[in-house]
Amino acid sequence: MTATATQPKYEIKDINLAAKGKQRIEWAGREMPVLRQIQERFAAEKPLAGIRLVACCHVTTETAHLAIALRNAGADALLIASNPLSTQDDVAASLVSDYGIPVYAIKGEDNDTYHRHVNIALDHKPNIIIDDGSDVTATLVKERQSQISDIIGTTEETTTGIVRLQAMLKDGVLTFPAINVNDADTKHFFDNRYGTGQSTLDGVIRATNILLAGKTLVVAGYGWCGKGVAMRASGLGANVIVTEIDPTKAIEAVMDGFRVMPMAEAASQGDLFITVTGNKHVIRPEHFAAMKDGAIVCNSGHFDIEIDLQSLGQEATEVKEVRPFTQQYCLKSGKSIIVLGEGRLVNLAAAEGHPSAVMDMSFANQALACEYLVKNKGQLEPKIYNIPTEIDKEIARLKLQAMGIKIDSLTADQIEYINSWTAGT
Ligand code: ADE
């Protein structure tokens, strides 16, 4: 469905879903007190007045609050999906209809539509790009060099996007500042760990309704997302095996109490496999061949490349949709493998993504990163900046305040001690 002349341009599933979307956006707002305070300040101060901004994010109830904050700040903001399968169509409808924000996102859009939306976003001639996975920034660098002079900076939400930005920097093609939102403490400690931990299992459970207690769960990757998934699955009674390529992370997993082994060994043991590595083909034909009949595989990493579904498809005699977001691959060997969410982020494909309470801090970082870029326009170099510590700490302080939790502060004596090297044994 596209826009009429008087409405902002958009491409969404169905504008009639707006009422349900608005209700859900308002519900999410109850858990987002930090972003709400920023929204209110932005409405008064308009720090992004005159800025053309593109946000390429998962279009969820939480992203709606970020988009509203940006609009309140005076930005001419446009929103596109950062994944073909993560859009909440009712939220997209409400953002267009109730909040006047142009959205280009439809759950289940094909890859061509996804890339067309990325190009529509760039046609908006952004000064700031909020990216989740770096697709808009990479397309700008590859195909729209002439627009780079318009760019004040980009802000990146996720580990995968940061890895891509680092590769751009190494190749000398990142010629504008980028803010690393992912590595803010108030982002990855909470969003990647508790957000992915809970929402990934939520996606698995909504898709399959399986009991996790007593199941053997193989988690591929022990970064912050993998740690969260392993911790929460263990809490639900699953027997967790971790696979890793990094020796330090592998030791950490061992000391956290998990079994660690190569995927080649884990393949025959797992009932459920969750990939969160950020790399491609972590589960390959030789692993599928070793799996139990009925093994379930899914991914919670940013891109749908972690499970080699093309090879699995070549081994299949039939692929059946057995429940929403649940496909059964019937293999020539007589065995079946179950794939959730087409190998895309299962937490957003089959559930609602991270809970609002963690996105509150992630998107507070995004909103303040945009303000920081504008305040420091012309003074930043073409490199990747971490979120300033003051911003990170302020978000943590506001979150604690909203939770009604007080903490200690240093006494004058302690401040003197901590700043001095003279006192010892
Ligand atoms: N990434 C993971 N969960 C999300 C959510 N709920 N909203 C936006 N982006 C997300």
The rounded distance, in Å, linking the Cα atoms of 173 and 398 is 37
| Strand spans (E) along 244-294 | 259-260, 272-275
Where is 53: in which H helix or E strand? strand 52-57
Helices (H), 88-190: 89-97, 111-123, 135-143, 159-170, 185-187
Tokens of 53: 């901004």
Query: What distance in Å separates the CA atoms of residue 105 and residue 102, rounded to the nearest whole number?
Result: 10
Question: How remote is the CA of residue 411 from the centroid of ligand 1, in Å?
Answer: 39
Contact 37, 71 (CB under 8 A): no
Q: Which atom of ligand 1 is nearest to the CA of 60?
A: 7
Q: State the Cα–Cα distance between residues 324 and 376, nearest whole angstrom.
A: 47
Mean pLDDT for all residues in the chain? 97
- Round to whole Å and give the CA distance between 266 and 26: 43
Position 5 scores a pLDDT of 46
pLDDT at 15: 98
Residue 16: CB atoms within 10 Å: 11
How far is 407 from 399, CA to CA, in rounded Å?
12
pLDDT computed for residue 9 by the predictor: 87
Examine residue 410 and state whether it is found in any structural domain, yes or no. no
Q: Ligand 1 centroid to 348 CA: how many Å?
A: 7
Token pair for residue 280? 């491609």
How far apart (Å, rounded) are the C-alpha atoms in residues 126 and 123? 8
Same-domain pairing of 168 and 218: no
Specify the DSSP class assigned to residue 194: I
Q: What is the mean pLDDT of residues 233-256?
A: 98
Sheet holding 272-275, edge to edge: 259-260, 239-243, 216-220, 272-275, 295-299, 336-340, 326-331, 316-323
Rounded average pLDDT over 234-249: 98
C-alpha span between 71 and 282 (Å, rounded): 40
Is pLDDT at 304 greater than 60 in this prediction? yes
Q: Which residues pair with 321 in a beta bridge?
A: 327
Residues 69 and 153 in one domain: yes
Query: Would you say residue 2 has pLDDT above 90?
Result: no
pLDDT digits (tens, 9 = 90+) for 71-90: 999 999 999 999 999 999 99
Identify residue 303 by its one-letter amino acid code: F
Q: Is 324 exposed, middle or buried (0-12, 13-18, 19+ CB in 10 A)?
A: exposed
Same domain for 97 and 67: yes
pLDDT tens per residue across span 365-407 = 999 999 999 999 999 999 999 999 999 999 999 999 999 999 9
| Backbone torsion region of residue 415, taken as left when φ is above 0, otherwise alpha when ψ lies between -120 and 50, otherwise beta | alpha
> Residues, the chain, total?
425
* Alpha carbons 425 and 415: distance in angstroms, whole number: 18
Structure tokens at 145: 């060099």
Q: How far is the CA of 187 from the centre of ligand 1 (A)?
A: 12
Type of residue at 178: A
Residue 424: predicted pLDDT: 82
Indicate if ligand 1 lies below 6 Å from the C-beta of 60: yes
- Give yes or no for residue 3 having a pLDDT over 70: no
Same domain, 132 and 93: yes
Residue 259: strand pairing partners: 241
pLDDT reported for residue 253: 98
Residue 408 forms part of a structural domain: no
* Ligand 1 contacts CB of residue 156 (under 6 A): no
CATH number reported for the structural domain that contains residue 99 in this entry: 3.40.50.1480
Whether 411 is in a domain gets the answer no
pTM of the entire structure? Answer: 0.95
Residue 412 within any structural domain of the chain: no
Maximum C-alpha span of the chain: 76
Higher pLDDT, 9 or 6: 9
Closest residue by Cα to residue 292 from 322, 334, 320: 334
Ligand 1 centroid – CA 48 distance (Å): 23
Residues 159 and 241 in one domain: no
**Is 416 part of a structural domain of the chain?**
no
Distances (CA, A) of 217 to 7, 96, 325: 48, 41, 19
Q: Are residues 67 and 146 in the same domain?
A: yes
- Backbone φ and ψ of 51, nearest 5°: -90, 130
Task: Kindly state the tokens that stand for 47.
Answer: 């720090």
Whether residues 45 and 63 fall in one domain:
yes
Supply the range of the domain harboring residue 324.
194-349
What pLDDT digit, counting tens, does each position of 113-165 carry?
Answer: 999 999 999 999 999 999 999 999 999 999 999 999 999 999 999 999 999 99
In a domain? residue 182: yes
Domain boundary among 314, 330, 349: 349
How many distinct structural domains can be found in the chain? 2
Q: Is the CB of 345 under 6 A from ligand 1?
A: no
Residue 168, in any domain of the structure: yes
Q: Measuring from atom 9 of ligand 1, which residue has the nearest CA?
A: 58
- Cβ pair 187, 359 in contact under 8 A: no
For ligand 1, atom 8, the nearest C-alpha belongs to: 58
